[in-house]
Amino acid sequence: MNDYYADLGVSRDSSAEDIKRAYRKQARKLHPDVNPGPEAEAEFKKISQAYEVLSDPNKRQQYDMGADPFGGQHAGFGGNFSFTDVMDAFFGAGAAGTQGGPRSRVQHGQDALVPLQIDLSTAVFGGAEDLVFDTAILCDTCDGEGSRPGTGRRTCDVCQGAGQVQQVQRSFLGQIMTTRPCGACHGYGEVVESPCPDCSGEGRRRDRRTLKIKVPAGVDTGTRIQLSGEGEVGPGGGPNGDLYVEVRVRKHETFQRRGDDLHCSVELPMTAAALGANLPLQTLDGPRDVEIKAGTQPGDVITLKGLGVTHLRTNMRGDLLVHTNVRTPMNLSDEQRDLLRQLATARGEERPEGNFQRADKGLFGKLRDAFK
C-alpha cells in the first residue's frame, strides 16, 4: 500500500492545514507547468493522489484503518479532484475563483479627491469654506437595497444561493473540477427581481453635495486635507470612503508668499526716501504704519515681524517683508529744477562720478557690500 504521509512529507498526526501546506509546497516544485518532464509529472500525480486521500476525512480514515481508496495504484487525480487546491498552491487561497460563498452586495466606497480654491487670507489665518462637489450618495428610494420598494430578492436558481458554480473537465491529469462565480447572479447568490428605478439596482446614485469644511491656518497650494467617511458611498449602500481636499491658493494682488513669509513692494518718492517718513500700509492684519528711515535706498527691505503666514504645525507666524522702490521725479517745473540744482551744489554732486561694479559678483562680494 502507498505511504501517502511519506509522499507528502508529513506525520500521521498532522492536521488538515499541515497536510494542505505540505501539498502546496511540493506542488509548486513539481507542477508540469513549472517543472516539465515525465519524472516530475509522475511525482506530481503521486502527491496529488496522496493529498486527495489525506484531505478527505472519510478517505483518510479508511486509509488509516488499512484500506487504500485507490487500491495501491497511482491513478492520477481520480474522481473529482478540485482544481482549486492546485491553484492555491501557486497563488494562494481563492486563486481559482472561489471565495467560500456568495459575494456581498455591500462594498466599501472609494476615496475621492476634490480641489478647493481659497484666498491668501484663509491660508494665513484659516477659516471655514463651502465645498461643492459631485459624488455617489445613498439612494434614498431603496435605502441602498437596490430593489424597487415593495419588492425584494430571490435565491438564484442556477447556483442555489452559493454564488458559485462548479464544472468538471477532463485533462491528461484526469478529471479537474473548477469553481467560478455564477454568471446568472454575478456571484451574489441572489437576484434582484425588480431593480430600483433611481439607482438601477446599485443602491447609490450620483448627486451634488455641499460640505462646509474647516481649513487650518498655514495650508498652501498642494496641501491635502483628509475627511474620513466623507467620500463615495459604496455599492449596496456600503460604508463611505474618505474625501481628500486638495488646496489651491489664489494669487494675491499685493502679497506674494515664500514659505511662511509674505513679500510686497512699496514705491517711495525720492524725498521720502531721503528724509524718512511713516507710510501707511494695508496688511492682511489691517492697517500698519511702516517706518521709512532717512536715506532708504532702492531694494532695501523693511521687516514687519509676525505679519506673515501661520506655520501649519507650530502656529508660529512668519514675517512681512516690504521691498522699497524709490521713484525718481519726472516733469519737473523750473522752480523744482532750481531746488534740485541747489541741493546737488550743496552736496558737491554737480558732476557725479560713476562707480562701475561687476555684474557677476560672487557671494562674498555681495556680503562685503552688504556689510559696508
Q: Are 324 and 298 in contact (CB under 8 A)?
A: yes
264 annotated as a binding-site residue: no
CA 138 to chain centre: 23
For 313-368, the DSSP string reads: TT--B--EEEEEEEEPP-S--HHHHHHHHHHHHHTT-SSPPP----TT--HHHHHH
Selection from 4, 3, 35 nearest residue 22 by Cα: 4
What are phi and psi for residue 264, nearest 5 degrees? -150, 165
Take residue 216 and report the three cell numbers written for it.
487650518
Distances (CA, A) of 211 to 140, 203, 227: 19, 22, 11
Instruction: Round to the nearest angstrom and report the end-to-end CA distance of the chain.
Output: 103
* Cα gap 370→362, rounded to integer Å: 13
Q: Tell me the binding residues.
A: 139, 142, 156, 159, 182, 185, 196, 199
Can you say which residues are annotated as belonging to the binding site for Zn(2+)? Answer: 139, 142, 156, 159, 182, 185, 196, 199
